[in-house]
Amino acid sequence: MVRSPPWSGAVAALRDWPTFPSMARILEATFLALSVVAVVSCDRGASRTGSSPEKPSLWSVDSELASLYGPLPGSGKASRPDSLETRVEVCLRKTVRAGVSSQTWVAVCGNVLEAPHAQTGWVDLLVFSDSAGSDRLVGQVKGLESGSFGVPGEVSLVRIGAHRHAFALSSSYMGMGSMIETVDWYGWESPRLRPILSTRLQVSNEGEIPCEEDSLKCRWEHRRLVVDSSDPRAGYFPIVVEDSARSDGAFLVAGAKVAFQEDSARYPLPEPLVPDFWER
């Protein structure tokens, strides 16, 4: 029920007063204007103190991924030259602090279905920031091929500094009695994501016929990377490299601590213990 303002009776009386018709109309208009102002003022007060929240931002990492890849995970034809049927899914997602802001590191993996052993999978690496204004995707590297049987290599996140991280993408291959495993690190430094390290971690010929017939012809090499975070405030942590190998019947061991070189933006790792492994 709409109630009349308390002064409506006075307005009606003035309307019927024959001596001052123009004055009655003026007073009536004034009272009505005051009534409207009071109602609007109440509505504004209710919106400030009531239950009408502000609309949240429609942007999110999920919406950005959906715009790039469609619903994830899912199956379908991926945008690859070979047009092989591929299952696309998020294989890594971690949110970390990066100074005063936070970053979300996402890896999207493409698994090529029913692929032969020589067929690699693929990986896209993306970094999102919550302090980049409208451009929330601050770094990306797409179409990295790794793995075998259509399955990409494992992706992990490595802390390489007080406020820095890196993707670590491994890849391994086995065939004809030999095996090799490699790793590549991708670090973000404004304004892009870039490779900062690449090395092989394992290599072996222990499945080849010459090795099975003569143990002296067996060769292998292992490399281990350990991030030294003993100084948690360092911009970049050094890496301890531990190498071991067997070649020509001899066992070899070596180690080194490697600092990040900002002029080249890479970790300059030493050469493998057996650099000519495949030529022996």
pLDDT at site 76: 40
For residue 72, give the nearest of 57, 56, 58, 86 by alpha carbon.
86
Assess contact for 228 and 235: CB atoms under 8 A: no
Share of the chain above pLDDT 70, in %: 72
Q: Is the pLDDT of residue 2 over 80?
A: no
Distances (CA, A) of 67 to 56, 112, 146: 19, 21, 25
Q: How far is CA 129 from CA 56, 92, 94, 105, 197, in A?
A: 18, 16, 12, 9, 23
Query: Residue 217 corresponds to which tokens in the numbers above?
Result: 């012809």
What is the pLDDT at residue 13? 46
> Quick one: pLDDT at residue 44?
46
CA distance 120 to 155: 14
- Beta-strand relationship, 178-189 and 164-175: antiparallel
pLDDT bin (cut points 50, 70, 90) of residue 105 is: very high
C-alpha closest to that of 131 among 165, 162, 100, 106: 100
The pLDDT mean for the chain works out to: 79
120 pLDDT exceeds 60? yes
Partner residues linked to 166 by β-bridges: 158, 187
pLDDT confidence band for 84 (50 / 70 / 90): low
Confidence bin at 39 (pLDDT 50/70/90): very low
75-85 mean pLDDT: 50
pLDDT at 32 > cutoff 70: no
Residue range 246-263, pLDDT digits in tens: 988 889 999 999 999 999
Q: pLDDT band at residue 3, thresholds of 50, 70 and 90?
A: low
